[in-house]
Amino acid sequence: MGLFKNFVSQTRKPEGFLGKMMVNGMNGGHAQMADWGLSHLKTIAPEKIVELGCGGGRNAGALLEKYPFSKVTAVDYSEVSVGKATEYNKEMIKAGRCIVKQGDVSSLTLPEEEYDLATAFETIYFWPGLEKCFAQVAKVLKPGGVFMIVNESDGTDEASLKFEKMIEGMKCHTVEEIEAALKSAGFSKVKADHHKSKPWITVLAKK
């Protein structure tokens, strides 16, 4: 595998030296888009949040800042991501407001009906079967809980489709595909927003 392909493939499951570099880059590189996504959360005051596919943990930190009375559980299946997210949120972990756990979204072992909000930034591209994984998210959300998905690809932009070809196991979904999978997984009130000038999307769903 060429070095560039190997490096970009680290987005799926960061591992080793290249994975560490990728995770460091993602914390900064996704911040603007993640904050645009977070700006859609206006009317809720979640106390228990689960941040899925947390990568380097920057967005778990942003959620803790946005909701000062919340506790965040950040989950990722990559050891490298878990390590970086733990380091990034070490003060909040010490303060008892954050837990970082290694785990796979396709078989979550978190308590059922526990969380008010679940978030997924730039990660569902890699989830093995949207419907199955969304059902896992529904399982851990309280009734009435909110699931927010934020992607920098709307499933049709050329740049992301190039990466899709290069990265094994990656799938860029359209809003329609995401909405259909959410509904099949038992979510209602699905609402999507498309950035006015970029291919960024935010999808909100209620359990």
Q: Give the binding site for ligand SAM (CB under 6 A).
A: 11, 13-14, 26, 30, 34, 53-55, 59, 76-78, 81, 104-106, 121-123, 126-127
Q: What's phi and psi for 98, nearest 5 deg?
A: -140, 140
Nearer to ligand SAM, 43 or 165 (CB): 165
- Please report how close the Cβ of residue 113 comes to ligand SAM at its closest, in angstroms: 20
- Please report how close the Cβ of residue 65 comes to ligand SAM at its closest, in angstroms: 16
The amino acid at residue 149 is I
Specify the 3-state DSSP secondary structure of 23: helix
Nearer to ligand SAM, 149 or 175 (CB): 149
- Please report how close the Cβ of residue 58 comes to ligand SAM at its closest, in angstroms: 6
Nearer to ligand SAM, 53 or 61 (CB): 53
Question: For the residues of 118-170, what is the DSSP string, one character each?
Answer: EEEES-GGGSS-HHHHHHHHHHHEEEEEEEEEEES--S--HHHHHHHHHSTT-
Nearer to ligand SAM, 55 or 61 (CB): 55
Provide the pairing of β-strand 71-76 with 98-102: parallel
- Please report how close the Cβ of residue 86 comes to ligand SAM at its closest, in angstroms: 13
Nearer to ligand SAM, 14 or 46 (CB): 14
Contact 48, 71 (CB under 8 A): yes
Q: How many CA atoms lie within 13 A of 117 on its CB side?
A: 26
Contact 76, 55 (CB under 8 A): yes
The Cα–Cα gap between 34 and 173 comes to 18
Q: What is the DSSP letter of 182?
A: H
Nearer to ligand SAM, 112 or 144 (CB): 112
- Please report how close the Cβ of residue 198 comes to ligand SAM at its closest, in angstroms: 15
Q: Cα–Cα distances in Å, from 149 out to 21, 33, 187?
A: 24, 12, 13
Name the closest residue to ligand SAM (Cβ).
Answer: 55
- Please report how close the Cβ of residue 121 comes to ligand SAM at its closest, in angstroms: 4
